[in-house]
Structure 1
């Protein structure tokens, strides 16, 4: 019970500080014992351990944890969850909800398949008040919930204005997006400058319309669009706003009465605790440790005489969010390394020795400068070691003010090529030699080294990174344009991105009689459906999946399949953990359960794809490959699929990674870092780009025996 109530981010910072002072094995043993033995009975640390108790049968009355995937917080949503067997959870009663909430809703119809970002300026009134506060963002999928984040695991703690950020994804079947701010318990907060944006195909963030985003309207104005609790009054102070002239103050509400839910019971044998189960492992300096994995009710309630001392020490730890000193950097590595060690589902598919990576990762944090960028880069390198295309690190405590250059890039043969431009001085087909005086090849190398995933996805991430810039700070490129006259061009850094990433035909169009082109990254299912009877009669259809599909990507598959999925076709696998160190007790296997749907698109089908296709795009391409739904031309997809999950580190960085194992449709063959390889490999050339030719599409048309 003590361990379950610990703030582990604070514990990590305090623990690093205490352990760093140890100079001998005896001092280290003492420091670790002081930190960990107050957490519960049965924890042992020493050069030798007492004889372990006997392992007994499964006992449904014991206290233990069971995880379905990385259910890292009590608010875990989607396919992941955690359960503390035989422990109640205290929740607000239904008499009166305790959160003070403002909210606004927009339709998701034209936004499906995109990444979404919410930003806002927030501060709390009293850092010592009970409860917590934050922004919140939810994506609804009909009666189900898709992405959800309310910052419960990284609440606002500052009494001065700071920007906070939430990023997520909009599901292919999303219906609406709901967002706002909330204070829970006794927490009052101030909010201003709400911004909601979606990431477009080129990687740029495009703001969406938010009514009264700066809270400048009068409370009684018909133009203010914020809903709120019926029994809650809002105040809009007219002085001290960080942006504009007003902001909104969300008052603390009286705490609602609480009730205890029914104890969480084991739902099957895998969740039933094992009597005497322990985990034993080797530490440094000749020490070993033992941690019990199940306890009786009485044992779980036992508090050590030193528990109060530990709690007092943790309460004295200053806020670490946004801090870059040594203890915080090391604590960030400790937390991140552990989360991946225990919950990353791909250790059996990779050759990475994660245990061996701990020492160099700690050393990198130790040697890094006490700057935000150096701190960030240490964590990016750690996540890069996972080889996880979903792996990323965002600074949510001190997010940089970034914009986008008015150009898009592709990296071909280690050269940075302009493939889209809104500036005549930097025409399409230009080779970028230097960026602000630095070698473009060197920038490509550094960005790919800091990205996680396959080489093709690292290249995509580097293309995006090189397009990003410090907002309102111009960037000078030295280019070799198609006309051959090398020169410097200075480009502005603005919030708006390029209008076109690359030239493609209309999203759904007939290129020649009987030959159709469908760009699944742009056309929506509602636009595709009326065209299905025509496509069903077509001699050939080219489907473009060079990027992230809309909801049409999944919708079209049933019109290509001739046989339904079988009961054994399970390609998404959620690990079930009852023990640490990623020891899988079992799997929950899932699929989309697709069946053929009329009309059948029976002509020749060709799919275009490359390393920009990741996650949901690879779900679509997995069906294409394993059900032989068409010929694939282009490059290998990113090799990262499965629902993502995130956590926040003491220093204020948000980390994302893949929480489930995805295989091919036989349920066994690895997919991670493999992706979908093309039947016909083909990469654009500089000559083709300069000629305005889509060589990958041209090859598809050649196969269909028509002139490109």
Structure 2
């Protein structure tokens, strides 16, 4: 008991072990140092934010830091409510503007911690204390020589950055052990925030696990003493907890809060957030680690207490249950929560930060497209000074211009806060498509405008001027698809509109066009995707069978796709398959059967790679390559021409990748939209919604697809004269290739 009295006199309290937990005192042991009876150390703070050390700052602009930190909190904190996180961001922006000053209120609202960033990290320090060797982890180029005997691991006051060197600094002395399991919020892609609650989704969000790599050092130390302090870096706290639970090390200094060990640091300029995004789990019992791991000796001066204790060998096992009452993960469905429709400046600032952060986390092509999203965010936030927030269309276009920066053909922005009446006339009665730089009419419901006419101006503005403006608010991975998206916007007119047109070889003329409902304009658009399926008798090729896979042309009767393929297998000299539109009208199984009959056997899809986040700080991926099965019906044994164009996008390209990768077809037409992969979506303040591609897709051979697309073997550009004459010049080129 003499040693017990000495420890208490030093301002220390032995915890949990009792007398049996102390190393034996033999007759030759030195006297304890003189002490002053300071009483026990004060109890530690109950606020985890007072117990955790921060990490480094960042030189990124404040808006980029806020975006990144908000995305980490939004997607990975314990509570899981996306709406609550977004509202906390809006509240902070309302009070403080775009400033790191908003972090305190934001953190308090979401049960996070805000802190000033730490300074420059220190280098590793190895000190011979005489009675032990002390190692304080820090920056290290090569792992130090592992000391023997009694080793003190000084984990007090390490910063987050210094704690990244724990393994390099300490593995040799500590030796082999298995780290604790990390229970995390696992996100395989960004689960869509759009659609009905409980609806199927291509992406997943829920509970998951991460098992850190085991330590493999030789373990030179005979006794390990871990010095702990009132404030610790998360990784340092985790190491202390792990070693004590495994009865590998004594804890001297202060109790260790498991909640601290479960935090993740996100910097915002000179400050940052500490976000609890993990649950530590014992990998043997699969139970959560208790809330607090008591120190073997609580002491104001941990190093002096360790010298006084001077144990030899490992500590005894702990006995008795410890509380486990800290909050766990909640998994609300994001589609059950919705923003307010109204927007003000802070709400729109938040919308920009939310979209930027979502893209940074889950858009998979920043190594392929120009990475300009940070600069675009800054310019858009600055542009708010000139934006009329009462102009709903201008507000939505503000979001569109931000999304346009990522060159993604799935990058769309919609307004769910605005009323929509499908019976209200909303479109020009025209089907338009760019042929080169000329905007050409393919179909018209107005008697004064004809196929082949070139549109020169709409509502008093010339087409090149309109194109330059609209191209800034549409996102696309290819120029052909960008032009297609611009035409969709050009025809959106809800009032009588003057259009200037010109037939090939004729002078300009002005026409007044009355708007039509969207369904009428959609029917006109069929002219861009071919014709009805069947033998091409009218073109003088009755022995060539034409099959249109566009959903607007597929019918469910004796002329259905599988029936046509069966007849083509019996009697056709060649087959033309038109995939210039979007596949539809077939079940997925029938679609696979149809493709199998074209490829003649099993075929591979492109590689589908989905980003995976295991908590806020660990990124991985899941890769799938589908095998489309061999057909059950007769396969084609004749040449097949496969038609594509700028409207061949997404699933149409997925199907095209399978057949093109099989080598079974000759591709004719124009390059496709160069955009494949499942879409995800985020709801922004104002009930503005944005979508983007959530997975990376490459070709079956692994080569790049995004921004490249399906490249024709035979490239054909239609002409206004051909359109005026009712000719399908791409189909004609396919027939010529068959010859």
1:412/1:596 Cα in 2 relative to 1: closer, same or farther (>3 Å)?
same
Give the superposition deviation at 1:618.
0.3
Contact 1:414/1:444 (8 A) holds in 2: no
**Is 1:283 paired with 2:354?**
no
Closer/same/farther in 2, CA of residues 355 and 388 from structure 1, 3 Å limit = same
- Match for 1:438 among 433, 438, 461? 461
Contact 1:2 1:40 in 2 (8 A): no
SS in 1 for 2:520: coil
Instruction: Check if 1:481 corresponds to 2:558.
Output: no
Q: Which structure 1 segments of 5+ residues have no match?
A: 23-27, 87-272, 304-318
Tell me how far apart the structure 2 counterparts of residues 16 and 466 of structure 1 sit (CA, whole Å). Answer: 36
CA distance in 2 between partners of 1:354 and 1:281 (Å):
19
Deviation at 1:638, TM superposition (A): 0.6
For 1:491 and 1:19, the matched residues in 2 are separated by 50
The answer for the alignment partner of 2:406 in structure 1 is 386
1:513 aligns with 2:536: no
Compute the displacement of 1:688 (Å): 1.4
**What's 1:701 paired with?**
735
Mapped to 2, the partners of 1:351 and 1:481 lie a distance apart of 39
2:653 matched to 1:618?
yes
- Alignment of 1:576 with 2:612, yes or no, is yes
Written as runs of structure 1 = structure 2, the 5 A alignment for 1:283-682 is: 283-284=268-269, 286-296=270-280, 298=291, 321-370=340-389, 371-399=391-419, 403-453=426-476, 454-470=478-494, 473-482=495-504, 484-495=506-517, 496-498=519-521, 499-501=523-525, 502=527, 504-511=530-537, 512-521=541-550, 522-524=553-555, 527-537=560-570, 538-550=572-584, 551=586, 554-565=592-603, 571-580=607-616, 584-666=619-701, 668-682=702-716
The structural deviation recorded for 1:535 is 0.7
Alignment of 1:13-412 (within 5 A): 13-20=90-97, 28-29=100-101, 31-37=102-108, 39-40=110-111, 44-46=115-117, 48=119, 51-52=159-160, 58-60=179-181, 62-72=182-192, 75=198, 77-85=200-208, 276=261, 279-284=264-269, 286-296=270-280, 298=291, 321-370=340-389, 371-399=391-419, 403-412=426-435
Moved more, 511-520 or 37-46: 37-46
After superposition, the C-alpha distances for 1:332-385 in whole angstroms (9 at most, x for unaligned) are 101111111111122233331434443223223444221212211111011111
Q: Which residue of 2 aligns with 1:240?
A: none
Scaled by the length of structure 2, what TM-score is found?
0.61
Partner SS, residue 347 of structure 1 = coil
How far is the alpha carbon of 1:536 from its aligned partner? 0.9
Structure 2 gaps, min length 5: 1-76, 121-157, 168-176, 210-257, 281-287, 293-323, 328-337
**1:676, distance to aligned residue in structure 2 (A):** 0.7
Cα distance change, pair 364–612 in 1 and its aligned pair in 2 (3 A) = same
Higher helix share: 2
Name the stretch that deviates more: 34-43 or 393-402.
Answer: 34-43
Q: Deviations over 1:640-670 (max 9, x none)?
A: 111111121111111111111111113x322
Contact 2:113 2:274 in 1 (8 A): yes
Matched, 1:7 2:84: yes
TM-score, scaled to structure 1: 0.64
User: 1:338 and 1:40 mapped to 2: Cα distance?
Assistant: 20
CA distance in 2, matches of 1:417, 1:12: 47
How far residue 604 of structure 1 moved from its aligned partner, in angstroms, is 0.8
CA contact (8 A) 1:342 1:580 kept: no
Determine the C-alpha separation between the residues in 2 that align with 1:42 and 1:475: 57
**Could you tell me how far apart the structure 2 residues matched to 1:384 and 1:462 are?**
12
Higher deviation after alignment, 587-596 or 613-622: 587-596
Residue aligned with 1:573, SS: strand
Residue 218 of structure 1 aligns with which residue?
Answer: none
Q: More displaced, 599-608 or 523-532?
A: 523-532
Residue 321 of structure 1 aligns to a residue whose secondary structure is coil
Q: Alpha carbon RMSD of aligned pairs, Å?
A: 3.0
Q: Are the equivalent residues in 2 in contact too, given 1:548–1:613 (CA < 8 A)?
A: yes
What is the CA–CA distance in structure 2 between the aligned matches of 1:690 and 1:404, rounded to whole Å? 22
**C-alpha distance in structure 2 between counterparts of 1:687 and 1:492, whole Å:** 26
Q: CA deviation at 1:76?
A: 6.6
1:451-499 per-position Cα deviation (integer Å, ceiling 9, x unaligned): 11121111111111112222xx111101113471422111111214244
What are the Cα deviations for residues 395-421 of structure 1, in whole angstroms up to 9, with x where unaligned?
A: 110145562221111112222111101
CA contact (8 A) 1:320 1:328 kept: no
Is the 2:601–2:629 contact (alpha carbons within 8 Å) kept by the matching residues of 1? no
Paired residues in the alignment total 490
User: Using the alignment, how far apart are the partners of 1:47 and 1:508 within structure 2?
Assistant: 72
2:62 match: none
Rounded to whole Å, the distance in 2 between the matches of 1:37 and 1:505 is 61
* Contact map agreement 2:414 2:688 (CA 8 A) in 1: yes
User: In structure 2, what is the Cα distance between the partners aligned to 1:71 and 1:373?
Assistant: 27
Compare 423-432 and 527-536 and name the one that shifted more.
Answer: 527-536
Q: In the aligned structure 2, how far is the partner of 1:576 from the partner of 1:275?
A: 24
Q: Which residue of 2 aligns with 1:191?
A: none
Structure 2 CA distance for partners of 1:467 and 1:509, relative to 1, 3 Å = farther
Q: Deviations over 1:171-223 (max 9, x none)?
A: xxxxxxxxxxxxxxxxxxxxxxxxxxxxxxxxxxxxxxxxxxxxxxxxxxxxx
CA displacement at 1:280 relative to structure 2:
4.1
- Measured in 1, the distance between the counterparts of 2:626 and 2:398 equals 36
Work out whether residues 639 and 676 of structure 1, in 8 Å CA contact, stay in contact via their aligned partners in 2: yes
Aligned 8 A contact 1:324 1:372 in 2: no
Deviation at 1:554, TM superposition (A): 4.2
Distance 1:536 1:354, change over 3 A: same
Secondary structure of the 1:624 match is helix
